[in-house]
Amino acid sequence: MTYFPAESRYDQVPYRRLGRSGLKLPAVSLGLWHNFGDDKPFETQRAVLRRAFDLGVTHFDLANNYGPPAGSAETNFGRHLREDFAAYRDEIIVSSKAGHLMWGGPYGEWGSRKYLTASLDQSLQRMGLDYVDIFYSHRFDPETPLEETMSALDAAVRAGKALYVGVSNYSAAQTLEAARILRELGTPMVINQPNYNIFDRWIETPDSSGSSLLAVLKDEGIGSIAYSPLAQGVLTDRYLEGVPAGSRAAVGHFLKESALTEQKMTAVRALNEIAAGRGQSLAEMAVAWVLREQNDGGVTSALVGASSVAQLEANLAGVRNLEFSNEEIAAIDAASEDKK
C-alpha cells in the first residue's frame, strides 16, 4: 500500500539545533540497532518507521554493523527508503557509523582511513544512497593517529559522501582533540553520540581534559544525541515485577539478568513513583530527564529503539513534559545515587 505521511508530522515533537551548526534534530530520534535486522519481521519494521515519520521523527540512526547479521539493518532500511520514503529523502536525516568489527583481516575495524572509507562506501551501497547526512567514527582507536581518523571523516565530506561528521563513545579529552583537528581541516564536528541516562552519567564527570564531555560540547558548540536513555530497558516498567520471558534480560541480549540487582530494582521502583507523580510512565520520564530543560543545552536529541509502534509511541510521549522541579531532580538524584 502506498504510504502518505501525516500532514501534521511537524507539529508532534520539538526540533533542536545541533550545537552551532545549521542542522536541527527531532528531540527524539529512532535508532535501528536492535530491531531492523533480518531476525525481525519486515512489516513490523515498516510500521515502526512509518509511525515514527508520522510523529515527526526525521532522524534515523544506523551503523555498518547493525543487524543481525551485520549490515542487514542498513540493507533493510535501504528497502524501506526506496518503497516508502524516496519522495521524502530531503526531509530525513540518515546517519551511519564505522569503527566496530565488520569484516575479517586487519582492515575491518577501528579508525584507519582504509577502513572508514571502505565502510562508508559499503553502507551507501547497502542503503542505496549517494550520501549520509551524518557519518561517525563509532569508537576511538588507540592505535591509529587521531589525525588519520579525522582526516578520513573530512575526506568523506569533501567527496560528497557525508554532509556532517561526528564521533561516538569518545571521552571529553578525545572529543576536544578531535574537534580541534576537524576545525583545522575545515570540517567542524557537529555531534557526539554518548550513552547517557539516569543511571549512567559519565558525561557529567570531568576526565583528564579537566572538563566533562557536556562542558566540552557546550564550549565547542557541538551537539549531542544520547543513546540508551532507558538503560537497555531498565528504566521502564518492564522489570518491576520480575523478568518476563522473551525480554532482553531473559535472553541476555546486551542486558544480563544479574544486572537487575535488588538495589537497582529498589531504585527503579522509587523512580517509577516519581514518574507517576509527574503523570508520566517511567520510560517517558527517563527520556524527558535526558532532554530536560535544566540540562544547560547539553543533549540535543534522545536516541530510542522500538520493537513495536506502541513502544515507539510510549518513548515519544516523554517530550510532552521536559520541565522538572528542583525537588523532582533532587528525588531522582537520591533514588539513583550509587545504584548504577
| pLDDT (tens digit per residue) in 6-19 | 999 999 999 999 99
Percent of the chain with pLDDT over 70: 92
Mean pLDDT of 316-329: 95
Give the model's pLDDT for residue 254.
60
Could you state, in order of their start, the residue ranges of all structural domains in the chain? 14-241+295-308
- 141 touches 110 (CB < 8 A): yes
* Stronger pLDDT, 29 or 244, i.e. the higher one: 29
The residue written with cell numbers 520520564 in the block is 285
- The Cα-based distances of 306 to 52, 292, 314 in angstroms read 10, 21, 9
- In this prediction, residues 191-210 reach a mean pLDDT of 96
DSSP code, position 291: T
CA 24 to each of CA 54, 212, 274, 318, 330: distance values in angstroms, whole numbers, following the listed order: 17, 24, 31, 19, 31
| CATH number of the domain located at residue range(s) 14-241+295-308 in this protein | 3.20.20.100
Predicted pLDDT at 340: 47
Question: Is residue 244 predicted with pLDDT exceeding 70?
Answer: no
More confident residue, 269 or 1: 269
Taking the CA atoms of the chain, what radius of gyration do you get in angstroms?
19
pLDDT of 296: 59
Q: Which residues contact 184 (CB under 8 A, 6 or more apart)?
A: none
Residue 251: predicted pLDDT: 44
Cα separation, 235 vs 287, whole angstroms = 9
288 has pLDDT over 90: yes
Q: What is the Cα–Cα distance from 123 to 98, expressed in whole angstroms?
A: 9
pLDDT at 246: 53
Averaged over 208-235, what is the pLDDT?
Answer: 95
Average pLDDT over residues 46-70: 98
pLDDT surpasses 50 at 168: yes
Query: Is 139 a residue whose pLDDT tops 70?
Result: yes
pTM, entire model: 0.94
CB contact set of 159 (below 8 Å; sequence gap of 6+): none
Q: What is the pLDDT of residue 17?
A: 95
* pLDDT for position 269: 94
